[in-house]
């Protein structure tokens, strides 16, 4: 049976490092780490996410600011708020909760956030820094950064000689994940819906990362015995055993059968999910250290 990675435990250890680094920065340079979150409209899921981010920021000792704007906010009003936060030296991280209500266009808003305050790691500047291997000044998208913490804790910093396969090529996860693995010296294959013989490609992976959004697509016979399997999928499927109309969360990996083959695996829920907010906090404290001219903590 595979070792199951406890994402909550790993996330808690990341948060512990964030708290220590936040306190140390305040002591050494008088700087309080600042995170500003902007939410537009009244989508309940978005408000729940933002609430949990705000609570975690406060728990880490950050100055936590939330701007809640009405759904009818105009593009230029939102842009003006981002510009104000860009200019505010007490704010080190700016987060715009997505999706934005229509007709707002999120892309120009995201790209207007200063790259050094882009704690979601979504700006093209940060994507470019990651692509060129500049992890010293760039900020990495939170979910791949979190998945990479699992990989490092399992295999160490140097992945030389290991084959990694990433299924999924999204800008949000697949591409940055592949880049992180490549920067750690893995031999990386990016697979996706158009890949021929996908199962065969996956069977070559020492590290298999699934991020396609198709419930339990990766079966046991896709997995090399002893592989590390990171499941980033979150899919809601019917669960008639729980009652009529009930659902449950599953990943992109058929967890039970793959657990029999892999050596290490992440569950869904409770694997990569808890790492996303933890890495958001990590990115914010990294940004604060850089702004203060201090060496940021390592995660």
Binding-site residue set for NADP(+): 168-170, 234
Known binding-site residue numbers: 168-170, 234
Active site residue 16: no
Q: How far is CA 160 from CA 145, 150, 164, 184, 187, in A?
A: 19, 17, 11, 7, 8
Spatial CA neighbour of 36 closest among 84, 98, 70, 104: 84
Active site residue 196: no
Active site residue 111: no
C-alpha 14/C-alpha 278 separation (Å) is 6
C-alpha 183/C-alpha 77 separation (Å) is 39
Q: Which residues pair with 6 in a beta bridge?
A: none
C-alpha 59/C-alpha 255 separation (Å) is 33
Beta strands at 247-250 and 235-238: parallel, antiparallel or unpaired: antiparallel
Which strand (E) or helix (H) includes residue 35?
strand 34-40
Catalytic residue among 19, 66, 88, 97: 97
C-alpha 62/C-alpha 134 separation (Å) is 26
- Give the three-state DSSP class for 34: strand
Catalytic residue among 53, 117, 129, 224: 53
C-alpha 20/C-alpha 289 separation (Å) is 12
Catalytic residue among 117, 118, 120, 206: 120
Beta strands at 207-210 and 247-250: parallel, antiparallel or unpaired: unpaired
Are 267 and 2 a contacting pair, CB within 8 Å?
no
C-alpha 280/C-alpha 278 separation (Å) is 5
Residues annotated as catalytic are 53, 97, 120
């Amino acid at each position: 049976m595979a070792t199951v990675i406890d994402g909550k435990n790993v996330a808690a250890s990341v948060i512990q490092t964030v708290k220590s680094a936040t306190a140390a920065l305040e002591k050494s340079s008088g700087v309080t780490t600042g995170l500003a979150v902007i939410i537009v409209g009244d989508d309940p899921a978005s408000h729940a996410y933002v609430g949990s981010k705000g609570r975690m920021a406060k728990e880490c000792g950050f100055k936590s600011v939330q701007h809640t704007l009405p759904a009818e906010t105009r593009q230029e009003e939102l842009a003006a708020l981002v510009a104000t936060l860009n200019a505010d030296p007490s704010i080190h991280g700016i987060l715009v909760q997505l999706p934005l209500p229509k007709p707002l266009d999120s892309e120009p808003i995201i790209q207007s956030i200063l790259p050094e305050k882009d704690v979601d790691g979504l700006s093209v500047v940060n994507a470019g820094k990651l692509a060129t291997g500049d992890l010293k000044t760039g900020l990495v998208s939170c979910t791949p950064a979190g998945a990479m913490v699992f990989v490092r804790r399992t295999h160490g910093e140097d992945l030389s000689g290991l084959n990694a396969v990433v299924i999924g090529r999204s800008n949000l996860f697949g591409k940055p994940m592949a880049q992180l693995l490549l920067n750690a010296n893995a031999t990386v294959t990016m697979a996706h819906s158009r890949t021929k013989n996908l199962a065969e490609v996956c069977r070559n992976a020492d590290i298999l990362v699934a991020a396609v959004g198709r419930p339990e697509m990766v079966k046991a016979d896709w997995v090399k015995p002893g592989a590390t399997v990171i499941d980033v999928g979150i899919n809601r499927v019917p669960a008639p055993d729980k009652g009529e109309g009930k659902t449950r969360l599953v990943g992109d990996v058929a967890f039970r059968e793959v657990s029999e083959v892999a050596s290490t695996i992440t569950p869904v829920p409770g694997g990569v999910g808890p790492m996303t907010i933890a890495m958001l906090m990590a990115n914010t404290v990294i940004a604060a250290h850089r702004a203060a001219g201090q060496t940021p903590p390592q995660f």
